[in-house]
């Protein structure tokens, strides 16, 4: 139980792929400047593909020899992406259009390949699945938050609902503004995590000191 909790928290917060590991920046920048809905869509697509690829690769981890593991992983991920592409085109054409060229780029998304290489090939299926879901969720939440900010500042709307009619800072609908928001978001996130860690350390130190005093007495 504790193991799964650790994996989840790591994937979601402490090793968040977007803010802490800074992986997969290309689709990040492209999607957050479009709108919050396309950012969320990209996040969820990556979540699905990441989880499925983690499960498959973890299941095959003893079968695939070490020397060909990268080509095999790429083939598996590419198959999954193609399949998801077909599904989206048939059932969710709006999402398919908004993702555009970046749907095919998920094949070489660092998050997918990185988690497959670093985690799925060394852990059981269950753990790999949880890790995939956690990382995917972390990616989605990060993207959605930044997408909301960019969309609100850039076009005054929120998930398509026009809130501010004429106030728009157009640079946030362009990659330059997305980069700015990304950088500032990483700074804020790191600050929050640091503060959290610091307070946890302070509490742990206080506890340790009290224990020491108790023992000395």
Partner 1 sequence: MTAKQFFKSNVFKCLISLLCVLLVSGVFLAIANSFLEVTEEEMFKRQFNKQVSAVYDGRTVTPEAADISGQSTALSSSTIQKVWLIKEENDYLVQAEGKGGYNGNLTVWTIIKMDTSLKAITGIRAVSIYAYPDGELVGNISAANLNLFAQDYKDGIVYNYGDKTDPSYVQTNASYSFTAICNAVNGSIEFINAFAGGIVKEDPFEGFLYREFVNTDKDTKYELNADGDVVFTVRTKPNAPAGYFTVEIVVGTDGIIKKYTVKRYGSEDSHGEDKTEDKYNEIVDKMILTYVGKNLKYFTDKLGEDMAYPGDNSDKFEETGASRSNYLCMYAGAFATANYQKALDKLTTDGGETNE
Partner 2 sequence: MDNSIVISTPPHVKSKRTTRGIMLDVCIALAPAAIAGCVFFGWQALLIILMSVFACVATEFVYFFIANKGFSEKCKNAKAVCLRWTKQFDFTSVVTGLILAMIIPTTDKWYQVLYEVIFGAIFAIAIVKMLFGGTGKNLVNPAAAGRVFMALSFTHLVATSGFVGASFGPISDSSLVFTDATNLAGLLTNGLDIAPSSYLSPLDLLLGTGVSGCIGETCKLAIIIGYVYLCIRGVIKWWQPLLFLVVLGFTAVLLAGFTFDKYTFDIALFLPSVLSGGALFGAVFMMPDYVTSPKGVWGQLLYYVAGAILLALLRHFTRMEVISFVILLMNLVTPLIDKYLIRRPFGYIRQKKHKEGK
List the one residue from 59, 71, 187, 207 that touches partner 1 (CB under 8 A): 71
Site for partner 1 in 86-105 (CB under 8 A): 86-87, 89-90, 93
Quick one: which of 180, 186, 189, 193 contacts partner 2 (CB under 8 A)?
A: 180
| Cβ at position 171, least distance to partner 2 in Å | 4
With CB cut-offs between 5 and 8 Å by kind, which of partner 2, partner 1, none does residue 71 bind? Answer: partner 1
Residue 67 found at the interface with partner 1 (CB under 8 A) = yes
Per-residue x/- mask for partner 2, residues 133 to 172, rule CB under 8 A? -----------------------------------xxxxx
Q: Does residue 104 touch partner 2 according to CB under 8 A?
A: no
Q: Please spell the DSSP secondary structure of the chain, one letter per residue.
A: -HHHHHHHHIIIIIT-TTTTS---HHHHHHHHTT-HHHHHHHHHHHHHHHHHHHHHHHHTTTTS-GGGHHHHHHHHHHHHHHHHHHHHHHH-HHHHHHHGGGTGGGGG-HHHHHHHHHTGGGS-HHHHHHHHHHHHHHHHHHHHHHHHHHHHHHHSEETTEE--SS---GGGGSHHHHHHHHHHHHHHHHHHHHHHHHHHHHHHHHHHHHHHHHHH-
Binding site for partner 2 (CB under 8 A): 168-172, 174, 176-177, 180
């Amino acid at each position: 139980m504790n193991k799964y909790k650790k994996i989840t928290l790591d994937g979601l917060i402490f090793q968040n792929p977007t803010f802490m590991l800074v992986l997969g920046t290309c689709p990040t920048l492209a999607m957050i400047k479009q709108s919050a809905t396309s950012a969320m869509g990209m996040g969820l697509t990556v979540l699905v593909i990441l989880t499925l690829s983690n499960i498959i690769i973890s299941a095959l981890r003893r079968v695939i020899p070490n020397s060909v593991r990268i080509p095999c992983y790429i083939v598996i991920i590419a198959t999954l992406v193609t399949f998801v592409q077909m599904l989206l085109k048939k059932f969710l054409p709006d999402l398919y259009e908004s993702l555009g060229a970046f749907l095919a780029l998920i094949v070489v998304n660092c998050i997918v390949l990185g988690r497959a290489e670093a985690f799925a090939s060394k852990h059981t299926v269950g753990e790999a699945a949880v890790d995939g879901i956690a990382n995917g969720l972390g990616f989605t939440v990060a993207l959605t938050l930044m997408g909301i900010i960019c969309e609100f500042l850039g076009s005054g709307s929120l998930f398509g609902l026009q809130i501010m009619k004429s106030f728009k800072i157009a640079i946030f609908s362009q990659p330059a503004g997305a980069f700015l928001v990304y950088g500032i978001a990483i700074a804020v996130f790191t600050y929050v995590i640091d503060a959290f860690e610091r307070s946890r350390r302070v509490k742990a130190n206080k506890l340790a000191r009290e224990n020491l005093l108790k023992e000395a007495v």
